[in-house]
Amino acid sequence: MKVALATFAAIPDGGSEAAMLRASLAPLGVTAEPVVWDDPSADWSRYDLTVIRSTWDYIDRPAEFLAWADALPRVANPAPVLRWNTDKRYLRDLAEAGVPTVPTLWDPDGLPDWDEFVIKPAVSAGSRDTARWRRGTEDEQARAHLEALRGAPAMVQPFLSAVDTEGETALLFCDGDFTHAARKSPILRAGAGIEGLVTGEDGRGAITPATPTEAQLALAERALAAVPGAPDLLYARVDMVTGPDGAPVLMELELTEPSLFLDAAPEAADLYAKAIAARL
């Protein structure tokens, strides 16, 4: 049995997580190969399953990426989930379903009233084109950023102070079951943006093991239950932060090409490998 671990040209070997998955799949009789998703010489029919892993440049050509996923014989996560999740307006769907999320303005005409806020595009990966601004002192830069993303669409969210004091918490799931959690240290500085992609393989932002609270687990499960096609998810990462009232709120739901933070829980690689093998 053969599995393709889809990656992008900057990391043709798929990085450290691909290596861990390959090592865990081998004893199960599964050969896993990293394959660059837009390599014209790739023959996807050779693989029993394609698992989306580090396809982090899809944001440059989202329509091409989704058409490629649609054409694959078998892919995880499923192509309809990828189509829904690659545009962060899915957060609006989740909020309407009652999932507590960070408040978001979509393509606003002007700057928000929040003292500090984050601007980013709705189609983005690795925090690219994301910046944190302060009201009153950085309005000119913030307006220029917002205008540059006009129609993307742009999304604007309040910067939550807990990101600086606690970081974000990421809860990882495999086949709908919680596997492990990690803490993501802050990478956004006030008055600055992110240069390039933060990939999880580049050393920016420390990742450390974490133990989720009951409230965090409940939020993650509630968010996943609201996903169209939730029963078919192979992998999921639920990113959250503590809100002003002390309760967790959803920042992002990563169902396309998330880092799984396996370095923080190496044993989880075996769980994902077993789930992959069970699909073959």
Is 204 assigned a catalytic role? yes
Closest C-alpha to 209, from 248, 131, 273, 264? 264
Task: Quickly tell me which residue has 């974000």 as its tokens.
Answer: 168
Taking only the tens of pLDDT, the chain with its 280 residues reads 999 999 999 999 999 999 999 999 999 999 999 999 999 999 999 999 999 999 999 999 999 999 999 999 999 999 999 999 999 999 999 999 999 999 999 989 889 999 999 999 888 776 677 889 999 888 889 898 988 887 778 899 999 989 999 999 999 999 999 999 999 987 666 555 545 444 455 444 689 999 999 999 999 999 999 999 999 999 999 999 999 999 999 999 999 999 999 999 999 999 999 999 999 9
Where does the chain hold its CATH 3.40.50 domain(s)?
2-85
Instruction: Give CA–CA dist 78/52, Å, rounded.
Output: 9
Q: Other C-beta atoms within 10 Å of 110: how many?
A: 11
CATH code 3.30.470.20 region(s) in the chain: 90-99+162-262
What pLDDT, in 10s, does the model give residues 117-156?
999 988 877 667 788 999 988 888 989 898 888 777 889 9
Q: Contact at 8 Å (CB) between 107 and 117?
A: no
- pLDDT in the model for residue 191: 53
189 is catalytic: no
Catalytic entry in 204, 221, 222, 279: 204
Q: Does the model's pTM come out above 0.85? A: yes
pLDDT at 186: 79
| Residue where the block lists tokens 């993501």 | 184
pLDDT at 202: 46
Check whether domain 2-85 has CATH 3.40.50, yes or no: yes
Is 254 annotated in the active site?
A: yes
90-99+162-262 carries CATH number 3.30.470.20: yes
Q: Which of 138, 168, 237, 257 is catalytic?
A: 237
**CA 173/CA 157 separation, integer angstroms:** 26
